[in-house]
């Protein structure tokens, strides 16, 4: 095992960086990303969405989403950018307010799931033995429960609302990351640099946090962006099913409304919600891919 490690790709990489005046993995990554125009555009779009959410959360924009601006079901046009809904509210404002929900759910759920995944994964990978067995057993059991059923059950237990949405989505999406981290930590824990750290008297936590974690953190970043978009999609599905956020617009509830409205030819709620969701999910996917290209040493040069 240790032999193959010495000849691993990363070893080669370290030599390479030395030659080019010690450029770090992160410098490379940034360079690669900025070279990729699609990735930059995606990053920009995601940033724009984040900005909108912050503005809407602070009440600068879309605070008046509940106000009736015109007659029911006005078609999109000069007066109403994306038309109006059943109560004559602006679909455009609702879409923006929905962005806030989607982005916050994506962010918080991804953070929760990353925390759980990283902690459990690194503990399992690093300590091995009984602890590893226990954690592996736990997540295997956990994953055998169909996610959507688990989500529904959790939303019943926690009640409805934004907070329970964060928790439910966070709690159901950490297993994949946990697996990856566990494997990666296992590979790293016997490496020379970790052994050097222990030779210098580093404790478990020092080795794990200070030495191993930075070397597996690219996995976290890649997974974070993918989890982000999964959480957004799941939030939409749950809201569509009536299990999501209550009392405020969400893309899911907009699509739920639209399922009845379509029979009378009202397509703009569906259109607005889907468009908004499609753009952000696509951007996050492209960004995730670009991050993987940039950060995963195995893909270097491909």
Give contact residues for other proteins (rule: CB under 8 A): 66, 68, 72, 86-87, 160, 242, 246-247, 253, 256-257, 259-260, 263-264
Shortest distance in whole angstroms from residue 247 CB to other proteins: 5
Judge whether 177 and 135 are in contact, CB under 8 Å.
no
Judge whether 13 and 22 are in contact, CB under 8 Å.
no
Shortest distance in whole angstroms from residue 260 CB to other proteins: 6
Shortest distance in whole angstroms from residue 201 CB to other proteins: 57
Beta carbons within 8 Å of 194's beta carbon, 6+ residues apart: 188, 207, 211, 212
Of 152, 102, 107, the C-alpha closest to 252 is: 102
For tokens 């639209």, the residue is 258
| Closer by beta carbon to other proteins, 107 or else 241 | 241
DSSP string covering 79-109: SSTT-B-TTSBBHHHHHHHHHHHHHHHHHHH
**Nearest-5° Cα angle at 278, 272 to 282:** 155
Beta carbons within 8 Å of 41's beta carbon, 6+ residues apart: 283, 286
Shortest distance in whole angstroms from residue 42 CB to other proteins: 33
| Closer by beta carbon to other proteins, 146 or else 265 | 265
| Closer by beta carbon to other proteins, 214 or else 242 | 242
| Closer by beta carbon to other proteins, 71 or else 146 | 71
List residues bridging with 68 in a β-sheet: 89
Tokens, residue 214: 């930075």
| Closer by beta carbon to other proteins, 71 or else 201 | 71
| Closer by beta carbon to other proteins, 151 or else 177 | 151
Shortest distance in whole angstroms from residue 70 CB to other proteins: 14
Tokens, residue 119: 């902690």
Judge whether 169 and 231 are in contact, CB under 8 Å.
yes
Shortest distance in whole angstroms from residue 153 CB to other proteins: 13
């Amino acid at each position: 095992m240790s032999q193959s490690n010495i000849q691993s790709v990363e070893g080669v990489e370290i030599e390479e960086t030395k030659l080019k005046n010690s450029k770090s993995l992160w410098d490379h990554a940034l360079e690669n990303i900025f070279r990729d125009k699609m990735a930059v555009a995606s990053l920009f779009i995601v940033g724009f969405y984040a900005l909108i959410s912050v503005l809407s959360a602070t009440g600068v924009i879309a605070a008046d989403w509940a106000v009736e601006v015109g007659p029911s079901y006005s078609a999109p046009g000069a007066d109403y950018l994306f038309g109006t809904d059943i109560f004559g509210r602006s679909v455009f404002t609702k879409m923006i307010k929905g962005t806030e929900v989607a982005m916050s759910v994506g962010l918080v759920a991804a953070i929760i799931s990353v925390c759980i995944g990283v902690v459990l994964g690194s503990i399992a990978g690093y300590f091995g033995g009984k602890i590893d067995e226990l954690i592996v057993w736990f997540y295997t059991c956990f994953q055998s429960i169909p996610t959507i059923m688990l989500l529904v059950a959790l939303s019943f237990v926690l009640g409805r609302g934004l907070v329970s949405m964060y928790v439910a989505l966070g709690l159901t999406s950490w297993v994949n990351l946990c697996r990856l981290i566990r494997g990666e930590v296992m590979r790293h824990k016997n490496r020379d640099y970790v052994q050097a750290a222990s030779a210098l008297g580093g404790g478990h936590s020092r080795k794990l946090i200070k030495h191993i974690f930075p070397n597996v953190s690219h996995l976290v970043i890649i997974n974070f962006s993918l989890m982000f978009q999964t959480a957004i999609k799941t939030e939409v599905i749950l809201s569509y099913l009536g299990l999501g956020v209550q009392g405020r617009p969400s893309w899911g509830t907009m699509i739920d409304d639209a399922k009845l409205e379509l029979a009378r030819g009202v397509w703009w709620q569906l259109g607005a919600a889907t468009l908004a969701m499609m753009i952000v999910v696509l951007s996050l996917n492209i960004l995730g891919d670009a991050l993987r290209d940039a950060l995963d040493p195995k893909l270097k040069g491909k």
